[in-house]
Structure 1
Amino acid sequence: MRVEEGFKITPFTEGNPYTTDPVLPSLIKRLLPGDARKEVDEDLERFGEVVLTSLKQASARAEEPKVVQYNQWGQRVDDLQTSEGWRALKSIMQEEGAVAIPFERKYGELSRVYGFMKELLSVGDSQVVFCPLSMTDGCARVLELIGTPALKRDIIPRLISRDPSVAFTAGQWMTERPGGSDVSQTETVATPIPGATSPYGPVYSINGFKWFSSATDSDVSVALARTGDPSLGSRSLSLFLIPLRRPLLRSPGHPVPSPLTNNIRIHRLKNKVGTKIVPTAELSLDGAEAYLLGPLNQGVKLITPVLNITRVHSAVASVGSIRRCLAIASSYSKVRAIAGGKQLLQDNALHMAVLAKVSLLYRALAHMVFGAVLLLGKVECGVASEEEELRLRFLTPAVKAFGAQNASVALEECMASLGGQGYMEENGFGTIIKDALVEKIWEGTVNVLSMDTVRATAKPGVVQAFVNWTNFILNSVSDTLLSQVSQQLSAIRSALPDLVQAYTAPVHPLSPRAALNLLSHIASSVYLLEHAVWAVETSEPNREIDIEVFKRWVEEGGLKEAVADLKQARAGDKSRIETDRKLVFGLGTTKDRETSRQQAHL
């Protein structure tokens, strides 16, 4: 039989990612006032069509980068070559204001919500282009806070430009071979250049090796380098702005110089599991010119805005990956017939139960992430209360970790819902899943981020600010709604003391990860409740669904299990820790482990 003969499989068609989304339009309706809501709503609907056309086409043309280190004459050139599709993706998102919107602040603190919605809608079709764009966002914020007048005049306008011919992208160089996420072991050294001056700041020469540079085709990078005694660890690190190529300011159409023009050598491109299109490299810095940002030896503190912003971007990327895979699975269920062609998948109860579970997770994560996004916008616009600032500090590592941790299973369920067709590369599941896995690592693993939430609570009032907000939302429930959700409200209230206890010093060594998980379950539940309260008060058509989402998430999303896991973790003693080591290594005694450690240092 010829392939043209016999049964014809009906291809699925994805709808506009914004208008068909179960979360974003209602969030816009709740958060934005009238005129602003209309403008943003119309633009996001228009952008949804851009995602379906121009962005998908550019994504299909994106290919892996390569670096040519030497030319035919044996000269070192370090020519980084990226694909036309990758460059088109960056251009589209720059024109769409992916970096510009939050800094234009047309809608005040809500500009952050608007900008991140564009990322969420497009992340599944953008080949991780938000990796460099997120660092560009963070770099612009650092320069906005501590940059010299010349940096604010020359560099910030390019970082946030909507014109791809002049727009800059930025990198972030922290990771080095000795420490990974532990920057206290940074080997890169910065030395003042005698007699050198620049309006951009004190001029330094940078020497070192950066193990991961995820935006090697960028124009500038913020980087940590040592300016003091190595024994001081992270307390002798300073923050610098490093041009990747010189001259830094070039006219449109000017050929892109090699990084060798600033004494930066591309050792090799990383061979990664996913994010294949992103040019990630190992770099040698052999006297690269750089400009000191802010005071000496305060680099870790000064680079914090970059970390916070890129962590929120990472969280949005995880949720956006779920959105895209769920959209594919939902679209397929509308056209795929089963039971001898008598029933569509969308009418099969078991199939819908699986997709409903994924949708429940998507809704919970989306509301939690945009809750943090709104707080970020308030802080940047100077309208956040002290408690909101404290809550943002507490939630930022949590939204990143919780989103990355939960995305993978949801993506796999969506892929499996298409059966064999889901395993085909053409659907995009394979790329999305592999790319999404990096969010468990970039900007901190779950363990690293769980320890960061512990550090956040060292500041007085952080946990109480979260508890106060939680109680405020719980107490906002009207009598009409209370009768439907009283059981779920009780579950949240009963979990709060466990959370407070988990973050009360001294923190048990096994509890941080379980505590972060419980924090995330409570926060996501409360954000869903906040939306349901609004839906009831305004008589929204979907209010019953919003109520059901909140109830199901509290009952079935894992809150009870999170409480139990935390109690188990806090009950663990030294014998459990010792047993964990035995389970992993099979080493029977402390002496055996000590012998292994000694051998490792030989």
Structure 2
Amino acid sequence: MDGVDYTDYDRGRYCNYWELDRTLQRELERIYPNDEFGWATSRLREFGAVVGHTIAENADHADEHGPELRTYDREGNVQNYVDYPASLKETERLAYEAGVVADAFEAPPGRVEPLSHSHYFGMLYLLSYAETSGFVCPAAMTAGVAHVLELFDDGDLEAYYEGLTSRDHDDLIEGAMFLTEKQGGSDVGAIETTAEYDEESDCWRLTGEKWFCSNVDAEGTLALARTPDAPEGTAGLSMFLVPHGDPERGALTKGDREAFDGNPPAAVLNRQRYRRLKDKLGTTNVPTGEVEFEGTKAYLVGQKERGFEQMAEMLNLERLSNAVGACGIMGRALLESKIHAATREAFGQPIAEFPLLQADLVDMAVDHEAATVFTFEAVRYFSERERARRDGEEAETAAKMMRLLTPVAKLRTARMAIDTASYAMEIRGGDGYVEEAVTERLLRDAQVLPIWEGTENVLSLDVIRALDREGAHEPFAEVVQAYLDTVDHPTLADAAETVESEYHDLLSAMADLAGRDEEYAQLSAKRLANYIFDVFTGALLLTQAQTELEAGNGRLALVARRFVERELASHDARGITDGERFAVEHFDVIVKFASVGPDTPAEDGD
């Protein structure tokens, strides 16, 4: 058949996720700089196969047999030993040695320069097809810590940076960030952990409690603390790297730890206590615990009292990682739904032939497209800024756009992933609710996405700050208008007119909020963030559809029009009386990627 025949698959495993995800292929080809995409395609294809076979199977096993913490040894000494299942250890080795983190920081074999951060996010997306929010979290935090050290370390922590960016598992150091404290939560300025300099040991010593620490036994953890006489609030926070091992013995790597018979002895470890692991709804593959610092040795990262700024840099990468992970979950949920719909029969025919399910799958596919194009446009701006920074240049527009789009991407895609995973479970019926089906794990793991790295409320307020304090509204307006100016194909005319109208209303809303009191601005912040997503995504889909139409492909025009009609257009009687049969007429094109020329969307629009 034309397009993807999902009857060839029994379920969304033992397949190559890269080859099946044509949306990801298109987006990465669009945003990779220079010749990178052509060079990286083979790595992406190889990783897609590894994730679709070995890592997908490991993820299900590790979800049932997750990490276990043994805080004390038999003599009562603190050992902080996290025992991992062999399946998770294999996933860890496969992912890091495939370059999921390393390729964006150190030149992979065959290149003289690292790949852009776009490649890191593309690899993380593929990983999230199988590991959803479990192992994706440690990988993302490892990249985040490497990012912070690249930006702010003066060279004293080079051994840790080399470990974080290693593609040799034995030399690897994983990263984490212990930020949340029981009394503070999202109020970072309320952090009470203190740091005192120890001249004898030539390091800092941290004292305090961290309440929600994912990847609890990472070899290189970032933590915020307050030095003596530092001011209150966020201005007084400094960033520290806390090694898992005693830093006087050098950086403790994965290979060093595995060389011991069991856990390294207490004398080899840094002084801290992992009290317990959290019993969580999902993400059981990543150990999340409570940590007590007890004069724990640490190294200052960069300058004192710059910790909040450094944390914000890591959050940009982490929030985009969160959004990319959400898109990957949506992709896996959609794949499982397509396969089930194609292979499950009811009343004598595949359930994919029923109009209601066709409409649901079309809209799930459109949601996946929308989330992915928005997120990877934010990724493109992040990558452009980082490439410019490495070259000693500035990229002001990219920086402002990244600051605005990143919290919006994280906010919207997290909710979309939950909805998509939930409906994927419903499509499978009762079987989708039991542990043998991956859909229940997708939903459990997706549920953390609105919480990690800032809730929807926190992110909405960050959108307001990006507009007011950093002037992000100006490049945003210019970029959206530039998108719309490229759209002149007749089949896109009605949708473009709708987006253009909503775009001007959005700019008016931004201007109105700028003149309002702070209370009202906060009340409207979440609605504004979602409005930004809808308008920007509509414009971006239309300009991409224009390009595709010029190349003879009409599929994305159908996707763009469906998104605009659903999210931005108004309908009498909620569209019930308009006679529209879009989902039935274009099911094969949107869901199965059947080929379609530029004339079909035009005929549909007549």
TM bin (shorter chain): 0.7 to 0.9
Partner of 1:162: 167
Partner of 2:333: 325
> Does residue 295 in structure 1 map to residue 321 in structure 2?
no
The 8 Å contact of residues 219 and 248 in structure 1, kept in 2 or not, is answered as: no
The 8 Å contact of residues 194 and 207 in structure 2, kept in 1 or not, is answered as: yes
> Does residue 406 in structure 1 map to residue 416 in structure 2?
yes
Partner of 1:82: 84
Report 1:161-560 matches (<5 A).
161-197=166-202, 203-229=203-229, 232-246=232-246, 247-250=249-252, 252=255, 253-255=258-260, 256-257=263-264, 261-339=269-347, 341=348, 343-382=349-388, 385-478=395-488, 480=490, 483=493, 485-501=495-511, 503-505=513-515, 506-507=517-518, 508=520, 509-537=522-550, 539-540=551-552, 543-557=553-567
Report 1:561-576 matches (<5 A).
none
Which digits, 9 at most, give the CA deviation of each residue in 1:484-514, with x for residues without a partner?
A: 5443333433333244235414442311111
- For 1:285, what is the secondary structure of its paired residue? strand
Partner of 1:64: 66
> Does residue 16 in structure 1 map to residue 16 in structure 2?
yes
Cα distance in 1 between the residues matched to 2:503 and 2:112:
35
Gaps of 5+ in 1: 1-9, 198-202, 562-602
The 8 Å contact of residues 521 and 559 in structure 1, kept in 2 or not, is answered as: no
Residue 479 of structure 1: how far off its partner (Å): 5.0
Residue 285 of structure 1: how far off its partner (Å): 0.3
Residues 258, 233 of structure 1: alpha-carbon distance in 2 compared, 3 angstrom cutoff = farther
Residue identity in the other structure for 2:120: G
Partner of 1:3: none
TM-align CA RMSD: 2.4
Cα distance in 2 between the residues matched to 1:462 and 1:560:
28
Residue 25 of structure 1: how far off its partner (Å): 1.9
Cα distance in 1 between the residues matched to 2:435 and 2:102:
33
Larger RCO, structure (CA 8 Å, separation 6 or more): 2
Residue 355 of structure 1: how far off its partner (Å): 0.9
Which digits, 9 at most, give the CA deviation of each residue in 1:381-432, with x for residues without a partner?
A: 1166312211111111111111112221111111111222222322211111
Which digits, 9 at most, give the CA deviation of each residue in 1:41-77, with x for residues without a partner?
A: 3332222221222212322332222222333333333
Which digits, 9 at most, give the CA deviation of each residue in 1:330-357, with x for residues without a partner?
A: 0111211222x2x212222221111111
- For 1:104, what is the secondary structure of its paired residue? coil
- For 1:291, what is the secondary structure of its paired residue? strand
Residue identity in the other structure for 1:309: L
- For 1:135, what is the secondary structure of its paired residue? helix
Residues 95, 289 of structure 1: alpha-carbon distance in 2 compared, 3 angstrom cutoff = same
Cα distance in 1 between the residues matched to 2:280 and 2:424:
24
Residues 259, 418 of structure 1: alpha-carbon distance in 2 compared, 3 angstrom cutoff = farther
Cα distance in 1 between the residues matched to 2:378 and 2:265:
39
Residue 439 of structure 1: how far off its partner (Å): 0.7
Residue 325 of structure 1: how far off its partner (Å): 0.8
The 8 Å contact of residues 375 and 409 in structure 2, kept in 1 or not, is answered as: yes
Counting matched residue pairs gives 541
Residues 267, 393 of structure 1: alpha-carbon distance in 2 compared, 3 angstrom cutoff = same
Residue 288 of structure 1: how far off its partner (Å): 0.6
Residue identity in the other structure for 1:304: A
Residues 559, 520 of structure 1: alpha-carbon distance in 2 compared, 3 angstrom cutoff = farther
TM-score by length of 2: 0.84
- For 2:116, what is the secondary structure of its paired residue? helix
- For 1:426, what is the secondary structure of its paired residue? coil
Which digits, 9 at most, give the CA deviation of each residue in 1:10-46, with x for residues without a partner?
A: 9446543222224112223434578543333333222
Residues 375, 524 of structure 1: alpha-carbon distance in 2 compared, 3 angstrom cutoff = same
The 8 Å contact of residues 28 and 41 in structure 1, kept in 2 or not, is answered as: no
Partner of 2:149: 143
- For 2:458, what is the secondary structure of its paired residue? helix
The 8 Å contact of residues 411 and 455 in structure 2, kept in 1 or not, is answered as: yes
Cα distance in 2 between the residues matched to 1:30 and 1:186:
42
Partner of 2:586: none
Task: Single out whichever of 503-512 and 27-36 deviates more from structure 2.
Answer: 27-36
TM-score by length of 1: 0.85
Residues 338, 526 of structure 1: alpha-carbon distance in 2 compared, 3 angstrom cutoff = same
Report 1:102-121 matches (<5 A).
102-104=104-106, 111-121=116-126
- For 1:363, what is the secondary structure of its paired residue? helix
Cα distance in 2 between the residues matched to 1:322 and 1:134:
18
Over the matched positions of the two proteins, sequence identity in percent amounts to 28
Partner of 2:596: none
Which digits, 9 at most, give the CA deviation of each residue in 1:261-309, with x for residues without a partner?
A: 3111011111111111211110010001111112211210122211111
The 8 Å contact of residues 355 and 414 in structure 1, kept in 2 or not, is answered as: no
Residue identity in the other structure for 1:141: H
Task: Single out whichever of 99-108 and 220-229 deviates more from structure 2.
Answer: 99-108
Residue identity in the other structure for 2:479: W
Gaps of 5+ in 2: 1-8, 572-606
Residues 259, 331 of structure 1: alpha-carbon distance in 2 compared, 3 angstrom cutoff = farther
